[in-house]
Each structure stands twice: as structure tokens, then as C-alpha cells.
Amino acid sequence: MDGAEIRLCNITKKYGNLTVYENFNFSIARGEITCILGESGSGKTTLLNMLAGLTPYEGSISPELKYSYVFQRPRLVPGLTVRGNLALVCGDKGRVEDMLSAVELGERAESYPAQLSGGQAQRVSVARAFLYPSDVILMDEPFSSLDLALKLKVAALFLKLWRSERRTAVFVTHDADEALMLANRIVVLKGGKVAAEFRPEGQPCADLFARAELRPQLIKSLL
């Protein structure tokens, strides 16, 4: 993605009588992982859906970009193999095979989604998002259904892929530890407003202890 940051200007979003955002202004830097952290109902998923063009809103988001989306559940096509799911978004067979190797699923390439573990299926979902020629990757609590060991494994694979091309990513979660591991920038949302913002030192890494000194301050901002 060339050019300046992504800009959300004067965004208002309502569901019936419920106002989620009102005259909301926000920016997302290119080439970074921006984590949106907040409790349920804070507007995190709505923000992703507005970026992706999946829900209407008032205001403007610029520039126009292509987005790929990693959902809470993998949402793989059940009648296609792992290789087939990846080939849906990328016609370059060499890139598909390279990606299968990168996410350590070469031996499961001919398996169907129902034959995969939760962690394997989510790895396919992450791989698909990177193979799709998007400018920005959106991630909606993609590790919420995984146990800690699998969460760390999939997070490490995501970061390996991200470092290879530094594609802009927006990641939403309610888990402070996930935010500390994965983000260049952490934004805490409350009631559709930015309540706090943090820039952890160092680069994102799948290590629960790498940025532990910031955890008390981050937890406090959520209360």
C-alpha cells in the first residue's frame, strides 16, 4: 500500500437507536500492526466491518483499499482441500505451495477443513489472508477459540508472514496479552471513543513476557 495513512473522518454508525460511533476520527499507519483493544460492545468489530465495507456508515474512509479478513472462525470452504482454499484467492501455484510450507501445512494440503484441528484451520485462514492481494489485513479475534499453546504457535506464524512484507494489519481483541504480543500500536476503545493509546517498545513477537512491564498500565486502561 503506497501513500499515507488510512483516515477515518467524522464517522457515525448507528444500529437502530444505538449509537456505536459519533463523529469518530481515527488514523491507521501503513506497514504497522494496529491493535484495537476493548471489551465486548466497544465497537471493535464494527470498526473492522466499516473498513471492509461490510456495513454502512456516515462519514468517510480514505483512501480506497483492498482488504482481506481473518474472522474469529476460519470460514473455510468445506468442499475444498487446504490447497484448494488457498488457490481460491491466488492463482500462482508456486506461491500457494510456498505458503503451505510457511504455515507448516504441506502435509495437510489435501485435507478438508473438517479433518483439521482448530489451530490448523486458523493457520489456513491466516495464510489465505496473506495470499489475497490486499493492501490491509483485518483480524477479528482470530485466536479467541485456541488454547494458549496453539495461540502462541499461530501468532508466531502470523508474525513470520507479516515480517516478510510488512503489510498493514488491524487486529481486534479483548485480550491484553494478545495486544502486547502482536501490536506496534495499541488503541483502547470504550463506548466508540479512544480511551488510551500505547506504543510498546521493540517489535511484535509471540512472547507473553517480552512487554510485560506495560501490562499493568494496559489492564488499568480497560477498567
pLDDT computed for residue 208 by the predictor = 84
| Total count of domains within the chain | 2
* Whether residue 96 is found in the same domain as residue 24: no
How does 99-112 read in b/e, with b if 16+ C-beta sit within 10 Å? bbebbebeebeebb
CATH number of the structural domain spanning residue 48:
3.40.50.300
> Could you give the percent of the chain with pLDDT greater than 70?
98
Indicate whether 71 belongs to any domain: no
Inform me whether the pLDDT recorded for 2 exceeds 60.
no
- Whole-number average pLDDT of the chain: 93
Indicate whether 153 belongs to any domain: no
How does 31-48 read in b/e, with b if 16+ C-beta sit within 10 Å? ebbbbbbbeeebbbbbbb
Mean pLDDT within 70-99: 95
As a residue count, the chain comes to: 223
pLDDT computed for residue 1 by the predictor = 45
**Among residues 195, 219, 201, 198, which one has the least CA distance to residue 44?**
195
Reported as a single tens digit per residue, the pLDDT across 119-156 is 999 999 999 999 999 999 999 999 888 888 888 988 99
* Whether residue 140 is found in the same domain as residue 208: yes
Q: Are 221 and 196 in contact (CB under 8 A)?
A: yes
* Whether residue 120 is found in the same domain as residue 190: no
Mean pLDDT within 164-184: 93
pLDDT computed for residue 150 by the predictor = 87
Indicate whether 151 belongs to any domain: no
Q: Are 51 and 95 in contact (CB under 8 A)?
A: no
Other beta carbons less than 10 A from residue 144's beta carbon: 14
- Residue 9 lies in domain: 1-66+136-146+158-223
Reported as a single tens digit per residue, the pLDDT across 84-98 is 999 999 999 999 999
User: Which residues lie closer than 8 Å to 30 by C-beta, 6 or more apart?
Assistant: 1, 3, 4, 5, 6, 168
Three cell numbers, residue 187? 488503541
Inform me whether the pLDDT recorded for 106 exceeds 70.
yes
pLDDT computed for residue 171 by the predictor = 95
The DSSP secondary structure of 14-41, one letter per residue, reads: EETTEEEEEEEEEEE-TTSEEEEE--TT
